[in-house]
């Protein structure tokens, strides 16, 4: 199947082809026809599957074909400013030849950013992409009206609920016409998400693409080690491995800052990414990383859902995440769009139980690498009875550069 099979608007098709995209991903194959038919949709798919384009393409087609005039007909809610910006960038690329307009509305910027957002709203862009808190600020000011919205999309709905946006979402929905098409996308489908879906969607179709499984192209590995061996191993991996683009995840902002200093002291070109930076600084870091000018970026789980960059070779879990679902999101930053990549998790004895929970979630044990001898002896952990049977596939320290894959949206 190719994108030609969807019979999109010719200008939209031109945009798709100009970006080099030819083959839809599974979530796109399943979701696009449902959305084109005008049905509400609940879609549960892991990160890196092309879900953003799966709702953008049919909605862009419907707006372009509908001659809606100069009004805001589409509202996309996202949990973070980074995700809102990335969705906006994808709209700009796909809709380049259609003449459709969009703007990302989010907090954290200065007065100039707020004024730009206000002007965009007053100019009635076709597509409004927003974080809930800042959108409510514009609604309260009276400059924003949502009475013409026909398409409401909630992206990463589980993340928005985790961040406490349920009340804001319901407040926003009260200002949107009841007669609309609503699309809810989520990486996980816990009870609160289903409750939200039942309250705002009408007879929705449902798509579920094995959300608790990492992409098949991810080469998952672990090292068992003492805490004081972690940074030394990370430096060795980055200096000796053939990786061009790496994300490192730590569990706290303080740990991110400390590791960033250690990597710089070891002459590893890298940057931390956290909330202490000004908005403009964070945007520049992400831009440098995306443009391959910055090879290593270090952040917390907020980064795992707020960055959409193809071609990431390596993800390192400096700390094992407390929630096994966060492990899926973290390592999903690599092996995106049918490519391959490597995910390495550093496990100390305190985090061994978390590792077992992750292995139970994904239904397999993760291959263990032997710690390089120059780093000292590795610890021996006590076995946990509840863990899945290990495959005893221990491999010596080595690195592989990922191979390119077929390009898709």
**176-198 burial code (b ≥16 CB/10 A, e <16):** beeebbbbbbbbbbeeebeebbe
- What is the reported pLDDT for 307? 67
Strands (E), 10-139: 41-45, 74-77, 102-105, 127-130
- What is the reported pLDDT for 109? 66
Pairwise CA distance, residues 198 & 195, whole Å: 5
The yes-or-no answer to whether 3-209 and 218-395 have a common fold is yes
Q: Which is higher by pLDDT, 386 or 104?
A: 104
The single-letter DSSP state of residue 132 is H
Band (pLDDT 50/70/90 cuts) for residue 401 is very low
Pairwise CA distance, residues 242 & 253, whole Å: 27
Contact 151, 74 (CB under 8 A): yes
* Inter-CA distances, 246 with 299, 312, 314, Å: 11, 6, 5
* Inter-CA distances, 18 with 12, 14, 64, 309, Å: 10, 6, 18, 19
Band (pLDDT 50/70/90 cuts) for residue 394 is very low
Is pLDDT of 408 > 60? no
- What is the reported pLDDT for 322? 82
Interval 209-225: pLDDT, tens: 755 567 778 999 999 99
pTM surpassing 0.75? Answer: no
**31-70 burial code (b ≥16 CB/10 A, e <16):** bbebbbeebbbbbbbbbbbbbbbbbbbbbbbbbbeeebee
Q: What is the mean pLDDT of the chain?
A: 86
- What is the reported pLDDT for 101? 92
Lowest mean pLDDT among 43-52, 143-152, 210-219, 301-310: 301-310
Pairwise CA distance, residues 369 & 389, whole Å: 17
218-395: CATH architecture:
3-Layer(aba) Sandwich (3.40)
Pairwise CA distance, residues 360 & 356, whole Å: 6
Residue 397: Cβ within 10 Å count: 17
Nearest Cα residue to 102 out of 51, 153, 137, 140: 153
* Inter-CA distances, 251 with 2, 91, 270, Å: 40, 32, 18
Band (pLDDT 50/70/90 cuts) for residue 309 is confident
Band (pLDDT 50/70/90 cuts) for residue 306 is low
Pairwise CA distance, residues 98 & 65, whole Å: 10
Q: Which residue has the tokens 């805490």?
A: 227
Which residues, including other chains, have CB under 8 Å from residue 261's CB and lie 6 or more apart?
A: none
Interval 54-86: pLDDT, tens: 999 999 999 999 876 778 999 999 998 888 988
Band (pLDDT 50/70/90 cuts) for residue 403 is very low
Interval 138-178: pLDDT, tens: 999 888 999 999 999 999 898 888 788 999 999 999 999 99
* Inter-CA distances, 266 with 7, 68, 236, 261, Å: 53, 56, 10, 9
CATH class of 3-209: alpha beta
Interval 336-376: pLDDT, tens: 656 688 999 999 989 998 999 899 888 889 999 999 999 99
- What is the reported pLDDT for 48? 67
Could you tell me the two tokens for 360? Answer: 């139970």
Q: What is the DSSP string of 339-378?
A: --EEEEEEE-GGGHHHHHHHHHHHTSPPEEEPPPGGG-PP
Sorted by where each begins, the domain ranges of the chain are 3-209, 218-395
Contacts for 170-173: CB closer than 8 Å, 24+ residues apart? 170/199, 171/136, 171/139, 172/75, 172/77, 172/132, 172/135, 172/136, 172/139, 172/146, 173/200
């Amino acid at each position: 199947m190719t994108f030609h099979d969807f019979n999109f608007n010719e200008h939209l098709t031109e945009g798709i082809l100009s970006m080099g995209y030819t083959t839809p991903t599974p979530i796109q194959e399943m979701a696009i026809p449902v959305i084109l038919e005008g049905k509400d949709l609940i879609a549960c798919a892991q990160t890196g599957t092309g879900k953003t384009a799966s709702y953008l393409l049919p909605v862009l087609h419907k707006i372009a074909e509908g001659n809606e005039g100069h009004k805001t007909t589409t509202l996309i809610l996202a949990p973070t400013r980074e995700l809102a910006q990335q969705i906006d960038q994808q709209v700009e690329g796909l809709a380049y030849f259609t003449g459709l307009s969009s703007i990302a509305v989010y907090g954290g910027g200065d007065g100039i950013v707020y004024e730009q957002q206000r002007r965009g709203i007053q100019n009635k862009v076709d597509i409004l992409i927003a974080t809930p808190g800042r959108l409510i600020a514009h609604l309260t000011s009276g400059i924003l009206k949502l009475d013409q919205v026909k398409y409401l999309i909630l992206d990463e709905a589980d993340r928005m609920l985790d961040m406490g946006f349920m009340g804001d979402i319901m407040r926003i929905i009260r200002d949107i016409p009841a007669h609309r098409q609503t699309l809810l996308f989520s990486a996980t489908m816990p009870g609160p998400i289903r409750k939200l879906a039942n309250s705002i969607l009408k007879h929705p179709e449902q798509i579920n693409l094995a959300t608790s499984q990492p992409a098949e192209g991810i080469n998952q590995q672990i090292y068992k080690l003492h805490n004081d061996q972690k940074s030394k191993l990370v430096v060795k991996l980055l200096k000796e491995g053939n990786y061009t683009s790496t994300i490192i995840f730590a569990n706290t902002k303080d740990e991110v800052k400390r590791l960033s200093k250690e990597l710089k002291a070891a002459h590893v070109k890298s940057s931390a990414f956290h909330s202490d930076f000004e908005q403009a600084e964070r945007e520049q870091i992400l831009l440098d990383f995306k443009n391959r000018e910055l090879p290593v970026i270090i952040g917390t789980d907020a980064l795992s859902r707020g960055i959409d960059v193809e071609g990431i070779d390596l993800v390192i879990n400096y700390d094992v995440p407390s929630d096994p679902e966060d492990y899926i999101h973290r390592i999903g930053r690599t092996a995106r769009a049918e490519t391959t990549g490597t995910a390495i998790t550093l496990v100390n004895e305190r985090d061994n139980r978390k590792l077992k929970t992750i292995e139970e979630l994904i239904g397999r044990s993760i291959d263990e690498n032997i710690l390089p001898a120059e780093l000292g002896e590795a610890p021996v952990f006590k076995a946990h009875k509840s863990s899945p049977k290990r495959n005893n596939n221990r491999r010596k320290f080595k690195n592989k550069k990922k191979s390119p894959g077929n390009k898709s949206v």
